[in-house]
Structure formats: structure tokens, C-alpha cells
Structure 1
């Protein structure tokens, strides 16, 4: 993926990692379109960063995904990069079905069906571009489970395998698939995470991501150093120890 001259659509970029990436890519000389549910936040981003375009999109709503994607393509026919950033994470207790079923369904709808529907809405257009990229967003928790967030872990494992599979299917096209695998990052994804001592500072995370993309234009998995502890646990042979260490730090356990 080249670092400038792209037209990049990032749903779920009104805060956290998505917004930070949107700002960095904009500064690097890309046309950036930020998507989100809340018009006020979109307007604030557009005012703070002239040149960033915005579109309302709800990644839990199939019709919204189709309509927003069509708007973006119509306004920006050079669209060649889509970053499927939107996601939710919640604590669940699976010993009490009444407490987790609704949460689990919402997580799967947003974290799994959202990216699937988004890719479905843009793939035909991306295949017309000479140099296109789909960026999926999984997590270190796709590879090692956090006890308190079963549905989130599973949703990100699904995104990892979706990314692997799409990369195979699109190998003979102009569309590349890049998987971003964050560790815990200091954002508002979970209550208290922004101030967690184990969360990676957001600026440091985005600095490292941009450095990896610049240094390795053909990278398929973007792994900052801090996530490798989780990502490669099974390969190293210390999976059980990593599971224990990760869950010993879980504030929700």
C-alpha cells in the first residue's frame, strides 16, 4: 500500500484508532473520507481538518452501509482504499444467557457482518482500480482469548480468517488485503481503557503502524511489537502461559 495519493474511506473513524489513522493519512497527502453515525462528530472532524470528507454510516445497518458506500464512490470515484475500522467490545458473562445474548448478537452484527457488508458494497468498484487495498481490523485477541470478552474475541478471530481467505481469492486481482492487528490501545473502546497502564498509547501505536506501512509496502499483517506477544504465542509454544498472563491483567475478570 502506498502512503500518499490514495483515496481512503474509513468507517468508524470519529474517534480512537480510526480517527488517528484518518488524520495521519490526510496529513500524508491522501484524500480521506471519514464515516460515522454521529453527524456532530463528523462535522467537528471536517472543521478541524479541512479537506477530510465525511459521510454518515451505521455499520450495524445493512441499508446504511450500502447507501453510504454508494455516496462515497459517487463523490470519490478514485476510491482505492477501504479501512473497515468500526467495532464494539463488551464484557459478557456466558454463565447467564440472559446477560450476554443481546450483546453477542450486536458484536457479531457490527464487528463481523459490518465489514462483510462493507466489502460487499465496494469490492466491484475496488476491482476497477489499478492499485486497491482492503484493510481489515482484527486484534491480538483474535489469537489469545481475554476471559471477559468472548464474543469480541470470536469476532476478531473471524475477521482474521476472513482476511486470510479474501487474500487468497483476490490474489489475481488488483485488490490487496491487509490485516491490522492492534494490541490494547489507549482508546475508549472499553470503559477505563484510555487510562489503562497496559494499553499502548494511541500516538505510539499509530506512529508504529505508519512506519510499518511505509517500510513494508507489501505487508499483509500489520503487527506492532506489542501485539506479537499475543499473535505468535501458539507458534512459539507458550500459548498457555500467554493466556494466563493476559488474563491475570484483565480488570473485568
Structure 2
């Protein structure tokens, strides 16, 4: 995708990677719309960052997605980039069905059905733009599992294959499908993770990812160096070592991804 001159909607961007990406893209000369569930956060973002538009959206609610899409397209008919950022991550113990079923269902609803519904709401409009981008967000854990988060791993693997498949279907149209594949990044996706020294600093991740978008405008997968340890374990032939390294520090799975560069 071109790095400037776009109109970008990022649902799920009131904090973490989403907000940092929104601010970086705005600084690069893009019009940015931030979406999220909590109106107080949206109001604070609008006050602290003049020029960023905001819209309330709950990506677990089909009606909310429909209403937000109508609002965004009415206010920004030149929208040409959608980033399906919203996501959740929960620690689960699959030896106890009573403890994991609700979080597993919530994870799939947010991380898989949410992006599917967002794409459905915007793809027709994007196809009508001369140069459009659909950016999905998977994870290094789509390619190597973290023991503690089975549903999250599976949901991100689903997003990877969804991205591959939708790219095939949209080939020959004006819409590029780009998959952003973060490693472990210092955000609040899990409690306390924003201070995890094993994870990649948020600002470093966003700077490197946006730099890749700038230098590789035709890239289909955006991979910072730190995610390649996870992404290519199977291709290198050291998948078992990758999984062991990822999960070896703590028998309860509390060690997070990104322990290797």
C-alpha cells in the first residue's frame, strides 16, 4: 500500500498496536478514523490528537459493525484502507472445559467473526476505490503455538488462511490484501504484558512495520525481524525447537511469544 494520502479506518485502535499505528499513519499524511467500544477513550483520543476522527464500534456485534460502516462511509466516502485490528487474548486451560469454553467462544467471535463481518461491510466499497488495501492482523502465534492461549493461536491461524484465500479472490481487483504479523509486543493484550521485557517495544514495532509498508508497497505479509523466528520455523526445519523455546520457561505457559529475535 502507499504510505500516505490514504483514508484509513482502524476498528479496535483505542490502545496498543492499533492506536500506535493510527498515530504513525496520521503522521505520514493519512486521514485516520479510530474505532472502538469505549466512548470515553474515543473522546480522549479525539481531544489529544486533533485531526483523528473517531467512531464507536463493537466488532462482536453485527448491528454495531453495520451502523459504524454506514457512518464511516458517509463521513469519509474516499475511504480506501481498512485495518481489521480488534482482537482479544485469554489464557485458557483446556483440561477444564468449564474454565475455557466462554473465553474460547469470545475469542473466536472477536478475532475471527469480527474481521469477517468487517470485510463484508466494507469490501464492496473498497472494490470501488482505484487503490485500496485490506489489512488483516494475525500474529506470530498463527505459526507456532503458545501453550497458554489455544483459542488465540487458532484464531490467528484462521486469519492467516483467511487472508491468503481472500487475496486469491480479490486478485485482479483494486484491493490489495496485506497481512500484518506482529510478534509479542509490549501492550496490555494480556495483564502486565506492557512491561514484559521479552516482548518488542511498541514504538519499535510500529516504526519497523510502517517502514516495511513504505519500502515494500507490494508486500503481502508485513513481518518485522522478530516475528520471523516464529513465522518460518517449519520452513527452516526447526519448528519443534521454536515451540520448545516459546513455551519452555514456565510450565503454566506464562512466558509470552517473542523470546527470540
Closer/same/farther in 2, CA of residues 35 and 144 from structure 1, 3 Å limit? same
Taking the TM superposition and a 5 Å limit, the aligned residue runs for 1:7-156 are: 7-156=7-156
Gapped regions of structure 1 (runs ≥ 5):
none
| CA shift digits 1:45-93 (9 cap, x unpaired) | 1111111000000011111011101110010000000000000000000
Question: Given that residues 33 and 52 in structure 1 are in contact (C-alpha distance below 8 angstroms), is that contact kept between their aligned partners in structure 2?
Answer: yes
What is the SS of the residue equivalent to 1:92? Answer: coil
What is the SS of the residue equivalent to 1:212? Answer: helix
What is the SS of the residue equivalent to 1:185? Answer: coil
Shift in Å, 1:158? 0.1
Question: Given that residues 146 and 250 in structure 1 are in contact (C-alpha distance below 8 angstroms), is that contact kept between their aligned partners in structure 2?
Answer: no
Gapped regions of structure 2 (runs ≥ 5):
254-261
Shift in Å, 1:252? 4.5
Distance in 2, matches of 1:163 and 1:251, equals: 33
Distance in 1, matches of 2:195 and 2:32, equals: 29
Taking the TM superposition and a 5 Å limit, the aligned residue runs for 1:188-199 are: 188-199=188-199
Distance in 1, matches of 2:252 and 2:7, equals: 39
The two structures, once aligned, show a CA RMSD in angstroms of 0.9
How many aligned residue pairs are there? Answer: 253
Give the structure-2-normalised TM-score. Answer: 0.96
Distance in 2, matches of 1:249 and 1:143, equals: 19
Give the structure-1-normalised TM-score. Answer: 0.99
